[in-house]
C-alpha cells in the first residue's frame, strides 16, 4: 500500500460498504431487509398508539389544566353506561392513513407548545381557544363528523328516548343533511368566549 494514500473517511467507508456488491446471498439480504422493515414498522406503530391515549393527551399542563377539566364534567367522560370517549376517540381518525396524517398535524401543535410557547399559560390558551376550536370544527365539518359517527349514527338513535326539543332538532338536522358538529359545538369543552350562535 502506498504510504501517501490518505486514510478513507468514515463516510467513504460507509458508502463503499453500502454500495459494493454484496457477498451475502439474495435471500439473506431480503431477510435482513424484511426484518428491519418489521422492526421499524412495529416501533412506528407502537409510538403512534402510545400517543393515542388519554394519559398522553393530558400529560402537558395546557391540556390537563384546561380542556381536560372541562371534559371531566361531560357525559363523554362519566355516564350511566360507563362508556368513555377519550381524546383520541374524538380527535384522531381510526383508519391508519388518516391517523398518520393527524399525527403529523399534531407535530405542529407540539411546535406551538415547545418552540413558540403560544399556549403555555391559561391566558395564552384562552386567547387562542377560538382559533383552535374553529380548526377542530372545520376539520369535523369537512369529514362529516366521522369521529362522532364512529359511535353515533342516525340509524341507532331512538327518537322516542329523546326529549321533544332534541327530537325536533335532530329530525330537522337529518332532513337538512347536517353533521354532528353543526349543532353540537361545546359538547365536551367550553365554547370560546368569542363564539356566537349565529357564527354558523
Confidence of residue 2 (pLDDT cuts 50, 70, 90): low
What gap in Å lies between CA 136 and CA 192, rounded to an integer? 13
Domain that holds residue 180: 27-191
What gap in Å lies between CA 126 and CA 137, rounded to an integer? 17
| Grid coordinates belonging to 64 | 390537563
Flag whether 12 is in a domain.
no
Find, among 172, 176, 62, the residue nearest to 114 by Cα: 62
Flag whether 18 is in a domain.
no
Flag whether 105 is in a domain.
yes
What gap in Å lies between CA 134 and CA 109, rounded to an integer? 15
CATH of the domain at 75: 1.10.3820.10
| Grid coordinates belonging to 25 | 446471498
> Global pTM?
0.74
Tell me: the pLDDT tens digits for 41-85? Answer: 999 989 889 999 999 999 988 889 999 999 999 999 999 989 999
Flag whether 198 is in a domain.
no
Flag whether 142 is in a domain.
yes
Flag whether 15 is in a domain.
no
Flag whether 10 is in a domain.
no
Radius of gyration of the chain (CA): 25
What gap in Å lies between CA 35 and CA 72, rounded to an integer? 43
- pLDDT above 50 for 9: yes
Q: What's the number of domains the chain is made of?
A: 1
Name every residue whose Cβ is closer than 8 Å to that of residue 128 and which is 6 or more positions away in sequence: 118, 119
Summary mean pLDDT of the chain = 88
Q: Decide which of 112 and 133 is more confident.
A: 133
Flag whether 174 is in a domain.
yes
At residue 140, the pLDDT reads: 94
Amino acid at each position: 500500500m502506498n504510504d501517501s494514500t490518505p486514510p478513507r473517511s468514515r463516510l467513504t467507508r460507509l458508502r463503499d460498504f453500502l454500495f459494493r456488491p454484496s457477498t451475502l446471498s439474495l435471500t439473506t439480504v431480503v431477510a435482513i431487509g424484511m426484518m428491519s422493515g418489521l422492526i421499524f414498522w412495529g416501533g412506528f406503530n407502537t409510538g403512534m398508539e402510545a400517543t393515542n391515549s388519554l394519559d398522553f393527551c393530558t400529560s402537558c399542563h395546557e391540556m390537563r389544566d384546561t380542556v381536560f377539566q372541562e371534559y371531566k364534567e361531560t357525559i363523554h367522560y362519566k355516564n350511566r353506561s360507563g362508556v368513555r370517549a377519550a381524546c383520541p376517540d374524538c380527535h384522531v381518525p381510526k383508519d391508519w392513513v388518516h391517523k398518520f396524517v393527524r399525527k403529523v398535524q399534531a407535530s405542529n401543535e407540539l411546535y406551538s407548545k415547545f418552540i413558540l410557547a403560544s399556549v403555555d399559560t391559561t391566558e395564552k390558551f384562552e386567547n387562542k381557544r377560538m382559533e383552535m376550536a374553529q380548526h377542530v370544527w372545520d376539520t369535523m365539518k369537512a369529514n362529516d363528523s366521522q369521529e362522532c359517527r364512529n359511535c353515533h349514527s342516525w340509524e341507532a338513535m331512538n327518537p322516542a328516548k329523546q326529549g321533544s326539543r332534541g327530537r325536533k332538532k335532530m329530525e330537522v338536522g337529518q332532513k337538512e343533511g347536517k353533521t354532528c358538529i353543526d349543532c353540537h359545538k361545546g359538547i365536551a369543552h367550553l365554547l370560546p368566549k368569542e363564539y356566537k350562535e349565529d357564527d354558523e
